[in-house]
Amino acid sequence: MTDLLQLNDATHIKRNFWKIADGVTYLNHGSFGPTPLPVQEARYQWSQRLAANPMNGFVRELDHEVELAKSALASFLKCSPNDLLFIENATTAMNVVAASFELRPGDEVLFNDHEYGAVRRIWERACTVAGAKLVTANLRPFHDPSDVIEPLLDAVTPRTRLVILSHVTSATATIFPIRELMAEFKQREIPVVIDGPHAIAMQDFSLGELGAAFYCASLHKWLCAPLGTGFLYVAPEWQSKVRAPMLSWGRPVAGHAATWQDELRWQGTRDPDHYLAVPTAIQFMESFGLDHFRNRGFALACEARAMLEDIFGTKAIAPADRAWSGTMVAVPLPPSQLPLPKADSDPLQVGLWETARIEAPVMFWNGTRHLRISCHLYNDRQDLRLLEETLKKLHGRCW
């Protein structure tokens, strides 16, 4: 593990490929990944090209260029480009799914208590409008895949119409046993929507073979695509059911054959430069080696976990094992007499920033605060040492 963390000089990588603000220690790539300089440049070049002749760019070239970028993404994800649509982010994609999936009174949508808050709000509204019910399975500390699978299966009833699952959870930074779960729900003929922003690049998987009805993801996290870049995957048997929440012309710009994606591809005039820069983001990550990125990030996250567990005297909810953890870790803070604050004003998150310019979010899960640390190519042990020193200074004041 030591050698792995010394293979690349993170300071050199950060200096040459990122422009993170001076004095900032960025440990929150899992929320908003800083865009690498080569990807920023690619986006700028596409924007300039479109600005030079928008008529030519949008009417004659855009469909073709977007298809090329989408094909590169499909190759990376191991699926058909016909099943993909570029979209702003996972939240937008999930709203499309909620608008497309028909629920009836009495139907049940199965959730669990690790799902993302915004996703819960989307499906709470969809269930309320339809007269359906959102059912939540409670999952507790993980040691075996059955700790996830059994509570979810126990919550299935004859009324279960749909399951919503994270591939990698946000608040608790846990990799779910997604293949095993998909097999169980396939056997029961229950479609699954996967919320997957944290899995893209962090995990090696075949989207085409996974078996999800829908997969929603953002690409600005571990893949390092520009902010505002995501995708929606729709399995072929569900594509005819896709409905756009907002309507525009609903036809391909250049007069190509109609597809299920048309209602969502051009909803008014917007700059597609962030989508067109996705192939550059893929090339950028592959140039370092995806296995190296994953292994190094996991090793650093394990060191962060050990340090935080020692300082807080608590344990992360899942084991320090590649089956459960990737390039991100969340460790619960000990019980505190402090009133539970709002997420954007947590005293520890504010203290880390004001004391040492460390960006690290405090996540809230089931009434417990978790400090979540993300480890990308520009992070190193020096970042963790500063975090450790700062936490010791803040002890007693922020938890």
Q: How far apart are CA 150 and CA 140, in angstroms?
A: 11
Q: Report, as an integer, the average pLDDT of 194-212.
A: 98
Measured CA to CA, the distance from residue 156 to residue 143 in angstroms comes to 22
208 — phi, psi (to 5°)?
Answer: -65, -30
For residue 2, pLDDT beyond 50: no
Is 362 within the bounds of a domain?
A: yes
pLDDT at 113: 96
Give the strand pairing for 108-112 and 133-137: parallel
Query: Which of 240, 269, 285 is the C-terminal boundary of a domain?
Result: 285
Name the residue with tokens 């007693």.
396
Domain assignment present for residue 232? The answer is yes
Contact (Cβ atoms closer than 8 angstroms) between residue 377 and residue 8:
yes
Asked whether the predicted pLDDT for residue 278 surpasses 80, the reply is yes
Domain that includes residue 308, residue range: 2-18+289-394
> Domain count of the chain?
2
Which of 60-69, 265-274, 313-322 is least confident? 265-274
Domain endpoint, select from 253, 285, 317: 285
Q: Can you tell me the mean pLDDT for 334-338?
A: 78
Above 60 in pLDDT, residue 8?
A: no
Express each pLDDT in 66-108 by its tens digit: 999 999 999 999 999 999 999 999 999 999 999 999 999 999 9
Q: What is the DSSP string of 209-251?
A: HH--SEEEEESSSTT-PPTT-EEEEE-GGGGGG---SS-S--S
Which token pair is 257?
A: 């054959």
Task: Kindly give, in sequence order, each residue whose CB lies less than 8 Å from that of residue 100, ignoring residues fewer than 6 positions away.
Answer: 238, 241, 242, 243
Which of 285, 313, 348 is where one domain is finished? 285
C-alpha 29/C-alpha 94 separation (Å) is: 21
Same domain, 299 and 273: no
Residue 26 placed within a domain: no
Q: Are residues 236 and 304 in the same domain?
A: no
For residues 111 and 165, the answer to whether their CB atoms sit within 8 Å is no
The pLDDT of residue 1? 41
Cβ of 155: how many Cβ atoms within 10 Å? Answer: 17
193 burial type by CB count under 10 A (0-12 exposed, 13-18 middle, 19+ buried): buried
Select from 331, 396, 43, 381 the least CA-distant residue to 171: 331
Residue 343 has pLDDT above 60, yes or no: no
Indicate yes or no: pTM above 0.85: yes
**From the CA atom positions of the chain, what is the Rg in Å?**
21
CATH of the domain at 9: 3.90.1150.10
Residue 35 in domain:
no
Tell me the per-residue pLDDT of 357-387, one tens digit each, with 9 for 90 and over.
Answer: 999 999 999 989 999 999 999 999 999 999 9
pLDDT tens track for 230-264: 999 999 999 999 998 888 877 665 567 778 888 88
In whole angstroms, give the CA distance from residue 173 to residue 221. Answer: 13
Q: How confident is the model at residue 399 (pLDDT cuts 50, 70, 90)?
A: confident
Q: At 76, list the tokens.
A: 């990376």
Cβ atoms within 10 Å, residue 241 = 14
- For residues 117 and 231, state if they share a domain: yes
**Phi first, then psi: what are they for 230, rounded to 5°?**
-150, -170
pLDDT value at residue 262: 86
Indicate whether 97 and 223 sit together in one domain. Answer: yes
How far apart are the C-alpha atoms of 380 and 375, rounded to whole Å?
Answer: 8
Same domain, 119 and 199: yes
Give the pLDDT score at 21.
93
Q: Which of 198, 216, 159 is nearest to 294 (CA)?
A: 198
CA distance 95 to 129: 14
| Residues 53 and 174 placed together within one structural domain of the fold | yes
Are 362 and 269 found together in one domain? no
What does the angle CA 13 – CA 17 – CA 22 come to, to the nearest 5 degrees?
85
| Burial (0-12, 13-18, 19+ Cβ within 10 Å), 3 | exposed
What CATH number is associated with residue 234?
A: 3.40.640.10
For the segment 281-305, what is each residue's pLDDT rounded down to a tens digit? 999 999 999 999 999 999 999 999 9
Same domain (yes/no): 158, 56: yes
Domain contains 27: no
* 45 shares its domain with 60: yes
The stretches of the chain forming alpha helices (DSSP H) are 2-6, 10-17, 37-52, 54-55, 62-77, 90-100, 117-130, 146-154, 178-187, 207-210, 262-265, 273-276, 278-288, 290-312, 347-356, 381-394
> Rounded distance, CA 37 to CA 14, Å?
10
Query: Do both 260 and 123 map to the same domain?
Result: yes
pLDDT of residue 222: 98
| Predicted local confidence at residue 389, as pLDDT | 98
Q: What integer pLDDT is reported at residue 6 of this predicted model?
A: 53
Mean pLDDT (whole number) for 391-395: 96
pLDDT for res 268: 73
The reply to whether 23 falls in a domain is: no
Is position 277 within any domain?
Answer: yes
User: In the prediction, which pLDDT does 38 show?
Assistant: 97
pLDDT value for 342 = 63
Q: Six-digit token pair at 162?
A: 């749909």
| 246 in the same domain as 363 | no
Judgement on whether residues 118 and 230 belong to the same structural domain of the protein: yes
